[in-house]
Structure 1
Amino acid sequence: RLHVVMLSLIKLPRVFTINQVPKVFHEDSIISGYRPPCSSATDCILSLFQLTNETLNIWTHFVPTWYFLWKLVTVVLTQSAWQDAFTWPLVILLLSCSMYPLASSCAHTFSSMSERARHICFFFDYGALSFYSLGSAITYSAYVFPDKWVNSFFHQCYIPIAVLNTVICTTLACYSRFPECQSPKFSKCLRVVAFAYPYLFDNIPLFYRVFLCVGEGCTNNDTNILHYNHIGLAFLTGFLFATHLPERLAPGSFDYIGHSHQLFHVCGILGTYMQIKAIEQDMETRRSWLLDHSIPFTFANSLGAGLLCVVLSLTIIIIYSLPLLSATTLQEKKRGKGPKKAKSARTARSPVS
């Protein structure tokens, strides 16, 4: 009885239709299930336990975060990661795999607090995805490159270009939020390009290895099956993100369960899981050969590159966030001055009257 009484005392936030929230909160072909556009942090957390159009977006990334964190802790504690430079790229990947779903779930949770909060929350989401992209590149450079490309000129330039791509990705993705209300299609295309470009670059060595390479030096082993699974899920993830299917075919029918962003999250997480499995198998089966023939495993091409990515992405996020914060502060000051002026004017008139 006590828990029933407690639940009855908790007032869950009401949900709105698309016509009741500002345009910046609109989602393509999602008609209902919107949370209040000026929710408090408490309301946002309470909304995790009611069905809205964001609920499954949050949980489909929040729950897998703990699996990836468990994997990260396992590698660090059981494989003596800090003493073995060969495992450093895997540590960066697992760290990025833990960060991006956590950042995504937090962004979806607190994005209904205000327009400014929505933009800033997703800035961090995009920065985390850029970090994941670099984590993938670092592990591909370390464990996945086909034998015949190892130590090539492209291999030596691969990580520096991947770091540059994180800057491009975060910058374009953050910028894509500003024209969203006026030009939603342009904004969507810009965001798709921002994430598709680094993914395609990162996977050049993998695509060559599993689709094009023939003969000696192609690294044709059992791990390729896992890579095929990961690639298939990755392209399905991109397809769902770009097309807004199935809700575009029946607007309003998938508002709460089954819309593209939920499916996008699920496919993305499954793809990441398959990617980690493939990389761990490549890492185990190719270890001795890679230690003898590949580029040396150093701080600069693993942990250092990841740290640089974090610093650059945070800098970009701050640059984009400052105008939003200053504009809000200015509006609050104007609202604060208004009543004071009105009060002073009434005070000045009162002796005359």
Structure 2
Amino acid sequence: MTSYTYLDSLSHAPRCPSVNEEHQTTSTTEILAETAKNVERRVEHTLTVLWDDLPSWQQDNHYITSGYRPATSSFRRSFASLGYIHNESVNIYSHLIGAVAFTFSGYLLYTIIKPRYGSAETADVLAFSCFFAGAALCLGMSGTYHTISNHSPTVAKFGNKLDYLGIVFLITGSIIPGIYYGLYCHPHLFELYTTITGVLGGFCAVVVMLERFRTPAWRPYRAGIFVALALCGAVIPILHGVQIYGFHEMRERAGLTWLLLQGFLYILGASLYAARWPERTSPGSYDIWGSSHQIFHLLVLAAAASHLYGLTIGFDYHHNGLGSKMLSGDLSTLKLHLFLVICQVDSTMRP
């Protein structure tokens, strides 16, 4: 039998590293960490710049201090920024993906719902087409503008005009189907409010293309024009419908609850954007994720999804028999599916 002594136990015990070895390990870790930081700084310096490094035409929100793309004077280089993270990434992808999602949703509604409802008319297709066209154009123009906004002053100005024009398309395209289903039994009122909306929408489309429209002095007029379009085209017809049918019936005729939610989301997003919250509370903390502009973009998606769901309620009400409170199982399932798909796109883009 082999004897096992205390000295033997010491020889087999785990060896503690010496002070020099610990120092060497710590130094190696620090070197690696510092090297990684240096590489990160070089990459960041190469691809993005700080607020102070921007030319005046790119400076807009001084609470966002980093993550800016330098001016490129090249469409190829501007579109190449889709391949890395910067402070416009969420703005770009949220609306580009949203444009694709709403385009696909429009195609899905047309190919699946219309054949199942013999009472569906060309007017229904046109009403929904107004919404989907407005949403796709708005989101597509927005995503494109944010992609090329670092090209040059001339391109940025023109892109910004298209961004505003997209807002006009979205508002106008959303109002028309809402009026159609809300005042379905009053074609003369539909014609009246649609004409008003078309005239105001055309006026807004012309005004937003004016150079002076982008200036700070026109900030109150910008807000006033969009508010007037929404007020005359949406709020007044809805109130008129409530006066005729009552609030409860308008919830079924036009999905009023969801239209109100849409309005709340738009107002909330615009308010946060105007107040530049939350980045104003901690400049530099929301440069890449969570800025007010990004939140606004996501709320626009949620508001458009809410409006679409409300329109499907109005469609279902009128094509399952006026006054019917029973929803078709197929349509209800599809509505829920579309709503969840669009909201999923929204949630996956949240920082």
> What TM-score results when the alignment is normalised by the length of structure 2?
0.69
Q: Which one of the candidate residues 126, 135, 143 is aligned to 2:164?
A: 126
Aligned length: 272
1:172 partner amino acid: V
Q: Which one of the candidate residues 272, 284, 297 is aligned to 1:252?
A: 284
| In 1, Cα distance between equivalents of 2:267 and 2:163 | 20
- Secondary structure of residue in 1 paired with 2:281: coil
In the other structure, the counterpart of 1:114 is: 152
Counting only pairs closer than 5 Å after superposition, residues 1-353 of structure 1 correspond to structure 2 as 14-28=47-61, 29-78=63-112, 79=114, 84-145=122-183, 150-151=186-187, 154-175=189-210, 180=215, 184=216, 186-205=217-236, 207-208=238-239, 213=243, 219-222=249-252, 223-287=255-319
| In 2, Cα distance between equivalents of 1:177 and 1:249 | 31
Sort the Cα spacing of 1:32 and 1:192 in 2 relative to 1 into closer, same or farther, 3 A. Answer: farther
Does the aligned pair in 2 maintain the 1:100–1:129 contact within 8 Å?
yes
Sort the Cα spacing of 1:87 and 1:111 in 2 relative to 1 into closer, same or farther, 3 A. Answer: same
What fraction of aligned residue pairs are identical, expressed as a percent?
21
1:143 partner amino acid: Y
Does the aligned pair in 2 maintain the 1:146–1:217 contact within 8 Å?
no
Does the aligned pair in 1 maintain the 2:98–2:139 contact within 8 Å?
yes
| In 1, Cα distance between equivalents of 2:84 and 2:123 | 46
Does the aligned pair in 1 maintain the 2:263–2:303 contact within 8 Å?
yes
| In 2, Cα distance between equivalents of 1:243 and 1:173 | 22
Calculate the aligned-residue CA RMSD, in Å.
2.9
User: Which ranges of structure 1 fall in alignment gaps of 5 or more residues?
Assistant: 1-10, 291-353
Structure with bigger RCO (C-alpha 8 Å, 6+ apart): 1
Q: What's the offset of the Cα at 1:188?
A: 3.2
Sort the Cα spacing of 1:217 and 1:278 in 2 relative to 1 into closer, same or farther, 3 A. Answer: closer
Q: What's the offset of the Cα at 1:217?
A: 8.5
User: Which ranges of structure 2 fall in alignment gaps of 5 or more residues?
Assistant: 1-42, 323-351
Q: What's the offset of the Cα at 1:38?
A: 2.8
| In 1, Cα distance between equivalents of 2:73 and 2:275 | 29
Does the aligned pair in 2 maintain the 1:68–1:94 contact within 8 Å?
yes
> What TM-score results when the alignment is normalised by the length of structure 1?
0.68
| In 1, Cα distance between equivalents of 2:177 and 2:111 | 19
Does the aligned pair in 2 maintain the 1:110–1:118 contact within 8 Å?
yes
